[in-house]
Structure 1
Amino acid sequence: MSIVTDIPAASPAHALAHFEAIMQHETDCWDVHHALQGGARDFVLLDVRGPAQFAAGHIDGAVHLPHGKIVAAKMADYPAGTLFVTYCAGPHCNGATRAAIRLARLGHAVKTMPGGITGWIDEGFALKQLPAAA
C-alpha cells in the first residue's frame, strides 16, 4: 500500500458530486479564452485588481471593478441572472474569491478563474494594456 492508496478513493458517485461542485464554482483560463474568442459572451468577466495592475495588463473584454468596490449600486445595471467570472493576479491572490463572496452576498451567480493573470499568461494568451496617460 502506498501513501496514495492509504486513504481509499471516494466512490464514483461521491467523486462526481465533488468535481461537479468544483466546476459550479470555478472555470479556467482556457475556457474563458475559448468563450471570448468564440463570441460566447454569456458571462461578465471582472478584473478585480487595482487600477495600476489593470492598466499594466488585463484580459481584453474584462470589466475593471476592484473587489472592494463591488456594491449593490454598481451591480444594479446588470440584469438578474448575469453570471460573473472574477479574476485577480493569480493563484497566490485571494481577490477573486473576495469578489465572489461579495457578488454572492448580493445575490449574483459567480465563478472564479483561479489562475488569474498568471494562468492567462502561462497559457500563452495576450493581455491588453491601457494607453499611458499623457
Structure 2
Amino acid sequence: MTNAVIDIPAASAPEAEAHFADRFRFETDCWDVHEALSRPEPGFVLLDVRGPDMFDKGHVPGASNLPHGKIIASKMAAWPADTLFVTYCAGPHCNGAARGALRLARLGRPVKIMTGGVTGWIDEGFPLESHQPRA
C-alpha cells in the first residue's frame, strides 16, 4: 500500500527533535505573544509589517506599524541593537512577516515571526485594535 503520507519515510526521532526544537528559534505563536504582551515588559517589539491602511483597519494591540519595505537601518536605530523583534502580517497566506524578518536579520537584528498573523490572532479569539482612517 502506498500514499502521499507514507511514501517518504519520517525522519528519525533525533532528526525530528532537532528540527522541531529549532523552529522555536525562528517563530512563536499568537497565544504566546498575547500572553507576553499582558506583562509590563514582554521582552520584544511586535512589528505589524503590513501597510498603514491595513494596520489602521485592525492590528494586534501593542504592535508598531513598520511595513517590511521600510525596515532600514536608520529606522531600526530607534531601538537598542539587542532588541528582539517579532514580525507579523495578514496570515498564513501572506509572506510579509518573512520579508520583514529577513530584512531585520540582514540588519543584524534578532527576530522571530508570529505564525498565523492577524488571521491566527483572530482565530485564537483575541481582539484587534483599530484607528481612525488617516487624513
> What TM-score results when the alignment is normalised by the length of structure 2?
0.92
State the partner residue of 1:102. 103
Structure 1 CA distance for aligned equivalents of residues 46 and 72 of structure 2? 16
Mapped pair 1:37 → 2:51: no
Amino acid across the alignment from 1:81: D
Amino acid across the alignment from 1:63: S
Deviations 1:64-111 (A, max 9, x none): 100010000000121121110000001111110000010000000111
Structure 1 CA distance for aligned equivalents of residues 71 and 128 of structure 2? 23
1:113: Cα distance to partner?
1.1
SS in 2 for 1:24: coil
State the partner residue of 2:16. 15
Amino acid across the alignment from 1:73: S
Structure 1 CA distance for aligned equivalents of residues 43 and 121 of structure 2? 19
State the partner residue of 1:130. 131
Identity of aligned residues (%): 64
1:12: Cα distance to partner?
1.6
Q: Where in structure 2 are the equivalents of 1:82-97 lying within 5 Å? A: 82-97=83-98
Structure 1 CA distance for aligned equivalents of residues 134 and 53 of structure 2? 12
Mapped pair 1:58 → 2:33: no
SS in 2 for 1:46: strand
Mapped pair 1:74 → 2:75: yes
> What TM-score results when the alignment is normalised by the length of structure 1?
0.92
Q: Residue 133 and residue 96 in structure 1: after superposition, are their counterparts in 2 closer, same or farther (change >3 A)?
A: closer
| Structure 2, unpaired ranges of 5+ | none
SS in 2 for 1:113: strand
Structure 2 CA distance for aligned equivalents of residues 129 and 123 of structure 1? 18
The number of equivalent residue pairs is 134
Measured on the aligned residues, the alpha-carbon RMSD in Å equals: 1.5
SS in 2 for 1:53: helix
Structure 2 CA distance for aligned equivalents of residues 100 and 108 of structure 1? 9
Amino acid across the alignment from 2:132: P
1:21: Cα distance to partner?
1.5
| Structure 1, unpaired ranges of 5+ | none
